[in-house]
Amino acid sequence: EVVLTQSPGTLSLSPGERATLSCRASHNIGSFLAWYQQKPGQVPRLLIYAASSRATGIPDRFSGSGSGTDFTLTISRLEPEDFAVYYCQQYSGSPWTFGQGTKVEI
Partner 1 sequence: EVQLVESGGGLVQPGESLRLSCAASDFTFSNYWMSWVRQTPGKGLEWVANVKQDGSEKYYVDSVKGRFTISRDNAKNSLYLQMNSLRAEDTAVYYCARVDGASLGGLSHWYFDLWGRGTLVTVSS
Which residues in this chain contact partner 1 in the complex, by CB under 8 A? 1, 30-32, 34, 36, 43-46, 49-50, 53, 55, 87, 89, 91, 94-101
For residue 92, give the amino acid letter: S
| Beta carbon nearer to partner 1, 44 or 66 | 44
| Beta carbon nearer to partner 1, 83 or 86 | 86
Query: What's the closest the beta carbon of residue 1 comes to partner 1, in angstroms?
Result: 8
| Beta carbon nearer to partner 1, 18 or 28 | 28
- Give the angle 64-67-70 at the CA atoms, nearest 5°: 80
Q: Where are the beta strands (DSSP E) in the chain?
A: 4-7, 10-12, 19-25, 33-38, 45-49, 53-54, 62-67, 70-75, 85-90, 97-98, 102-105
